[in-house]
Amino acid sequence: MVFNFKLQYLPKINHTKHLITKYNMENRKVKIEVADPTTLGLFGLAMVTLVASSQKMGLTEGLSFVIPWALFLGGVAQIIAALYDFKHNNLFGATAFAAYGLFWVAVCMAWLTKMGVLGETLQSTIDPKQLGFAFIGYFLLSVVLTISTLKMNKVMFVLMSLICLLFVALAADSFGLGEFWHEIAAYDELAISLLTFYALAAKYLNDFFGKKIVPVGKAFID
């Protein structure tokens, strides 16, 4: 009796290659892309300066309906934009939106203190000059940011220049240097709002359509 055996050979497994493949699959990095937050941050700035300027110019009265916009659009929206700009490694956007977002949160606290919401003790010890020094600090930061916009575009440079002027006017008004500075701050804030609306329209539409629809001007420095 003859037995015929058929030997079946299993394919040779490259264990090294198998381990490398398994390692790569386990350590694969998933990149999640997020949208550019610039338009959100700009919208927050545009809205809060529009509402705040109406109060400074005397078109509206009181701060009750200014505070919500200052807190959520001026503060929260810009801070959210800053957090995503940090993820995008956008140094200018992250710094500007975070700093100005926190500024409006602090301004809300100052208004609430002035209105007595945080207690009579804090209300009775208010010194406007302290705000003046805070405005000086923000002016110095804004000057640095303005210099960096020389490499961006003319719209951003003009916008940052107006913000610098706003902090000068606010500081002078806080130090009691005359009603003139209050009026300068009011109209300058309105100009900031309108130009910011233009900037966000340019950013959104140009990015959305993938071409220049709204001009922003070339950078001063290449």
Q: How many helices (H) and strands (E) does the chain have?
A: 9, 0
- Is 82:91 a contact under the CB 8 Å cutoff? no
Q: Is residue 2 part of a domain?
A: no
User: Does 26 fall in a domain?
Assistant: no
pLDDT in tens, 79-105: 999 999 999 999 999 999 999 999 999
DSSP string, 125-147: T--HHHHHHHHHHHHHHHHHHHH
pLDDT in tens, 141-182: 999 999 999 999 999 999 999 999 999 999 999 999 999 999
The model's pTM is: 0.85
Evaluate if residue 132 carries a pLDDT over 60. Answer: yes
- Whether residue 222 lies inside any domain: the answer is no
Q: What is the pLDDT of residue 112?
A: 96
pLDDT band at 34 (very low <50, low <70, confident <90, very high): confident
Domain-embedded: residue 16:
no
Domain count, the chain: 1
For residue 15, pLDDT beyond 80: no
Q: Which domain holds residue 126?
A: 36-209
Flag whether 9 is in a domain: no
| CB contact burial 174-196 (16+ within 10 A = b; e otherwise) | bbeeeeebbebbbebbbbbbebb
Cα-only R_g, the chain: 27
pLDDT exceeds cutoff 80 at 219: yes
Structural tokens at position 33: 């892309």
* 111-130 pLDDT per residue, tens: 999 999 999 999 999 999 99
pLDDT band at 3 (very low <50, low <70, confident <90, very high): very low
Tokens of 85: 């700009």
Residues of the chain with pLDDT > 90: what percent? 84
Q: 198-204 — which CB contacts under 8 Å span 24+ positions?
A: 198/155, 199/42, 199/155, 199/156, 199/159, 200/38, 200/39, 200/42, 200/43, 200/46, 202/155, 203/36, 203/38, 203/39, 203/42, 204/39
Instruction: Tell me if 65 is assigned to some domain.
Output: yes
* Residue 52 CB coordination number (10 Å): 24
20: in domain:
no
Q: What is the mean pLDDT of residues 11-32?
A: 58
Total Cβ atoms within 10 A of residue 66: 21
Q: What is the DSSP letter of 8?
A: P
What pLDDT, on a 0 to 100 scale, did the predictor assign at position 51? 98
Instruction: Measure the CA–CA gap between 43 and 216, rounded to whole angstroms.
Output: 17
Would 1 be classed as within a structural domain?
no
Report pLDDT for 201. 98
| Cβ atoms of 44 and 101 closer than 8 Å | yes
- Identify the CA nearest to 36 among candidates 77, 102, 74, 93: 93
